[in-house]
Amino acid sequence: MEAHDDPGVLGTFAQGRGVPGTGPSAGSLAAVSSGAQGSSSHVRVEAWHREEARRLRRAECQGLPDELLSRRRPGLTLVDAYRVQWCGVALRVGEGARVLGHKVGLTSAAMQQQIGVDEPDSGVLLDYMEVADGGVLRAAGLLSPRVEGEFAFRLGADLCGADVSEEDVRAAMPAVCLALEVIDSRFDLQGIRLVDSVADNAACARFVLGSSVPMPAWDLGGERLTLSVGTSEVAAGEGRDILGGPCRSVAWLARRLDAFGTGLQAGDAVLAGAVHASIPLPRGATVSVSSPRLPPVSLRTE
């Protein structure tokens, strides 16, 4: 099978932020553990990484679910799954998309139990995924969209390293906002594993960022987020439900990216993860998330 060290395939991210291929370690990928710590090793880009990325892109464009990657490729590693993910992002960048930041997924116990995994994952945010606050999301073409309420940040400074802490995150974040994320797997969800989610860009489909406020002195872990459809509250959770707090979630992301030889950069948008289990995205409705001390955010579906 064709294989080679390829700074080019991920180097197409050069216009983006915090993605392997943009820094001195382009063409290599570190070994990944659940804590994103430990020794690193070079991983070669193989033809099947690209082919699986193209296959997922076709599923997204055609609106047809694909067979789980983990079933077709038993023994698939997490490193390989991230390589497929980033090759997929490279395809989209080649089509004209821009990298806006990152998302952390599967951060709460509720989400992990819903999907059947025991650790978080991460994905890349692209410009075509963003919906304006209060804007319309046309669900045609999405397979089985679900929606989540989250905290989000815009970095004011670079954030990288194997020992990034919650305090480092707070220092790098000038502001915080509420966000909605619409997830939509390109796979049949029955029997899905962590590697499938990672390869599928952590199921990221669309996102909405609310109005930002200066980073507060009070603990975001105690802020309760409520997801509503119309006037009905349908889900809720607190900041501490995501890895102990949204800043801890971002610290986890920075450490994981460091294991790949990259990190978060000033200007990146970061979704910190859902505080509750996702719910099916309703058609013809207004979906919003609110909290006691942060401005609400909403979208309308068609």
Mind listing the pLDDT tens digit for each residue in 246-269?
Answer: 999 999 999 999 988 889 999 999
pLDDT above 80 for 299: yes
C-alpha neighbours within 13 Å on the C-beta side of residue 149: 28
What angle (nearest 5°) sits at the alpha carbon of residue 128, between those of residues 302 and 245? Answer: 90
H/E stretch holding 4:
strand 3-4
Helices within 138-219 (DSSP H only): 166-172, 194-199
- Confidence label for 234 from pLDDT (cuts 50, 70 and 90): very high
Q: How many angstroms from the chain centroid is the CA of residue 160? A: 17
Looking at per-residue confidence, does 186 or 132 come out higher?
132
Q: What is the DSSP code (8-state) at residue 240?
A: G
pLDDT at 2: 39
Closest CA to 228 of 154, 286, 161: 286
pLDDT at 119: 78
pLDDT at 25: 31
Domain with 293 in it: 3-301
Question: What CATH number did the domain enclosing 30 receive?
Answer: 3.90.850.10
pLDDT above 60 for 290: yes
With tokens 């975001």, the residue in question is 220
pLDDT at 212: 97
pLDDT at 28: 31
The CA distance from 278 to 115, in Å, is 10
pLDDT above 70 for 241: yes
Which of the residue ranges 103-112, 139-148, 271-280 would you say has the lowest mean pLDDT? 103-112
Please give the tally of structural domains in the chain: 1
**Mean pLDDT of the chain, nearest integer:** 85
- What are the beta bridge partners of residue 243? none
Residue 244: is it exposed, middle or buried by C-beta count within 10 angstroms (0-12/13-18/19+)? middle
Q: Is 209 helix (H, G, I), strand (E, B) or coil?
A: strand
Of the chain, the percentage scoring pLDDT greater than 90 comes to 69
Q: What is the DSSP code (8-state) at residue 190?
A: T
User: Model pTM?
Assistant: 0.86
pLDDT at 22: 35
- What are the beta bridge partners of residue 181? 148, 207
pLDDT above 60 for 31: no
pLDDT above 70 for 33: no
Closest CA to 301 of 158, 146, 162, 187: 146
Q: How many angstroms from the chain centroid is the CA of residue 130? A: 13
What angle (nearest 5°) sits at the alpha carbon of residue 176, between those of residues 151 and 236? Answer: 30
pLDDT at 44: 67
The CA distance from 234 to 257, in Å, is 33
* Across 128-132, average pLDDT: 97
Q: What is the DSSP code (8-state) at residue 99?
A: E
- Confidence label for 40 from pLDDT (cuts 50, 70 and 90): very low
What angle (nearest 5°) sits at the alpha carbon of residue 225, between those of residues 227 and 219? Answer: 170
Cβ neighbours, 10 Å, residue 163: 10
Helices within the chain (DSSP H only): 7-11, 47-62, 69-72, 78-94, 109-115, 166-172, 194-199, 246-258
Cβ neighbours, 10 Å, residue 150: 33
* Across 134-156, average pLDDT: 94
- What are the beta bridge partners of residue 218? none
Closest CA to 199 of 282, 88, 120, 294: 88
Mind listing the pLDDT tens digit for each residue in 106-127?
Answer: 777 777 777 676 678 899 999 9
pLDDT at 196: 94
The CA distance from 65 to 24, in Å, is 36
- Confidence label for 20 from pLDDT (cuts 50, 70 and 90): low
